[in-house]
Amino acid sequence: MKDTDKHSNFIRTEPADTRQDPERTEISANRLVYFAAERTLLAWVRVSLGLMALGFVVDRFSLFLKQRIPHGPGNWSGDPFSSWIGIVLLLVGVSANITAAVRYTRFEIRYHRNVDTRPGRGLSLGIFFTLATAVLGVIIVVFLILTIK
């Protein structure tokens, strides 16, 4: 028996059908859109969790500074500025999470009703949250520069 005879069952001898069913192509395209929306939701959840974690770290940064300055003022309870920045970062993270959930729910309702699911006009929420995070980052950098002795 030849070596090629063993593998002949795995070789396609008939030509593949190159015609595609338009209805089947449309269904698979719709599934891709749905899965892309789910991936986007999960990305927003990761971003919001990161923002909330960063807010917690910034809020606790004042405790780190308190331990780092052993001979500081007697009743120094930490810097309220870092607490406020931490709270704002937490709120931005929570609002990003809520916004993602609302947008995904709207998309899913429109998707199951076979209505147009393209995004509307206006400022992208991604750009808004990116700018808000950048502004908070600049404020944190300014705070750290001012606390250097």
| Backbone phi, psi, residue 17, to 5° | -75, 115
| Domain housing 104 | 21-147
Is there a domain that residue 3 lies in?
no
Going 86 to 91 to 96 to 100, the CA torsion angle's sign is positive
Is there a domain that residue 100 lies in?
yes
Grade residue 46 by pLDDT with cuts at 50, 70 and 90.
Answer: very high
Is there a domain that residue 11 lies in?
no
In contact, 107 and 117? CB cutoff 8 Å: yes
Per-residue pLDDT reduced to its tens digit, 72-93:
555 555 567 778 888 888 888 8
The number of domains in the chain is: 1
Distance CA 67, CA 65 (A): 5
Give rounded-to-5 percent helix, strand, coil for the chain: 75, 0, 25
| Backbone phi, psi, residue 119, to 5° | -65, 150
Per-residue pLDDT reduced to its tens digit, 15-30:
555 556 556 556 677 7
